[in-house]
């Protein structure tokens, strides 16, 4: 047996052993390259054929071809076997099962009212202001002409912060959870001069029992416009436009005389929408408003008689309840998806 024959026979034996041990497709590819590839063992042997004596060429050539064909066939068979194994192993997919639904979240109804409110006021040139939920008595009451003996300042109405946790400020008084968004008016006027056009939206707190129409936490929108020669007509026009944009172009607004310490004159805002009129309910009370009281201008350090302005405040839950005919304020905080899904 010539050296080349020996080489070929041992390559065949080696390849057969490797093939038997091969269990994965990438290893099979490597194996194929090693023996049958362009610079593989068998190809190298075939190249040497040319150098052999004439009489040996046919025999060894035949042998080399046999080996090559046998290996090619064996590798192809192994490939079929491995591919079948891959297809039937691993996780099986039952294409007849119904699809799994992806639940896409959306904004909470109160957030939707927030965003629509801001959008309408932005169009009228209002900026959005913000204030702390933990307020002090001065910003929440004193600066708003609400004296120490006013019922709103009662411990029974208001959540005061434990003085051990936040000691009262000598000038600003005790700390408390804000009872309304009106202190943002004070904070805004103290940091900038008119013209001012702002809305402030946020959470407020009062010691209310939780029932269908009361909650110890709720949200308000506050509006403030201060400039020279601002009138009640501006106030009414702005409020009316806002509700018409938010609710219905046919919405009517009515002002009823009222009292708030920080406005003079003061009004309660009533609304009438076609939706409610159709159900025989004419006016719904929604919030308060008025012309900023001169004592408030004084508290924030504005010069006497230079400016006039108006302010309003109303409850966001109230508004959402009107928009979607919701009859229980507790639904907004219970976070029951059967409720939230509807918006």
Instruction: Tell me the closest approach of the beta carbon of residue 343 to ligand DAH, in angstroms.
Output: 25
Closer CB to ligand DAH, residue 78 or residue 225? 225
Tokens linked to 264: 């003079």
Q: Which residues pair with 277 in a beta bridge?
A: none
Least CB distance to ligand DAH at residue 223 (A): 7
Query: Which residues neighbour 51 within 8 Å (Cβ) at sequence distance 6 or greater?
Result: none
Write down the least CB distance from residue 312 to ligand DAH, Å: 5
CB–CB of 213/192 below 8 Å?
Answer: no
Which CB, 47 or 154, lies closer to ligand DAH?
A: 154
Residue pair 114/316 in contact (Cβ under 8 Å)? The answer is yes
SS3 (DSSP) at 156: coil
175 vs 267, which CB is nearer to ligand DAH? Answer: 267
Separation CA 312–CA 310 (nearest Å): 7
Closest distance of CB 98 from ligand DAH, Å: 51
For the chain, how big is the Rg over CA atoms in Å?
42
Q: Which residue has the tokens 């010691």?
A: 207
Structure tokens at 63: 């042998």
Answer for the pair 318, 247: CB distance below 8 angstroms, yes or no: no
Closest to ligand DAH by CB, 19 vs 321, is: 321
Q: Minimum Å distance from CB 170 to ligand DAH?
A: 26
What does the block give as tokens for 272?
């009438």
Give the nearer residue to ligand DAH in terms of CB position, either 173 or 290.
290
Write out the residues near ligand DAH by the rule CB under 6 A. 180, 182, 222, 260, 263, 287-290, 311-313
């Amino acid at each position: 047996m010539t050296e080349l024959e020996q080489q070929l026979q041992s390559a065949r034996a080696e390849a057969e052993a490797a093939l038997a041990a091969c269990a994965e497709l990438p290893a099979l590819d490597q194996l194929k390259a090693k023996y049958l590839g362009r610079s593989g063992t068998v190809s190298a042997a075939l190249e040497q054929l040319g150098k052999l004596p004439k009489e040996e060429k046919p025999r060894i050539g035949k042998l080399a071809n046999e080996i090559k064909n046998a290996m090619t066939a064996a590798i192809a068979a192994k490939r079929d076997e491995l591919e079948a194994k891959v297809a039937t192993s691993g996780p099986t997919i039952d294409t007849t099962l119904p699809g799994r639904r992806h639940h896409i979240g959306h904004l909470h109804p109160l957030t939707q009212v927030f965003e629509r409110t801001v959008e309408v006021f932005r169009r009228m040139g209002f900026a959005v202001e913000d204030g702390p939920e933990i307020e002090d008595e001065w910003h929440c009451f004193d600066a708003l002409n609400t004296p120490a003996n006013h019922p709103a300042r009662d411990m029974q109405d208001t959540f005061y912060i434990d003085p051990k946790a936040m000691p009262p400020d000598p000038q600003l008084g005790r700390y408390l959870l804000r009872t309304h968004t009106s202190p943002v008016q004070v904070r805004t006027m103290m940091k900038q001069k008119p013209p001012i056009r702002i809305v402030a939206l946020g959470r407020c707190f009062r010691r209310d029992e939780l029932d269908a129409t009361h909650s110890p936490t709720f949200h308000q929108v506050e509006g403030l416009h201060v400039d020279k020669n601002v009138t009640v007509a501006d106030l009414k026009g702005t409020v009316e436009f806002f509700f018409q944009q938010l609710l219905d172009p046919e919405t009517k607004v009515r002002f009823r005389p009222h009292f708030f310490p920080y406005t003079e004159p003061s009004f309660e805002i009533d609304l009438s929408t076609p939706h409610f009129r159709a159900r025989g309910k004419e006016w719904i009370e929604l919030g308060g408003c008025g012309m900023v009281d001169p004592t408030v201008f004084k508290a924030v350090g504005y010069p006497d008689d230079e400016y006039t302005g108006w302010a309003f405040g109303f409850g966001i839950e109230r508004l959402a309840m009107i928009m979607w005919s919701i009859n229980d304020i507790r639904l907004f905080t219970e976070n029951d998806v059967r409720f939230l899904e509807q918006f």
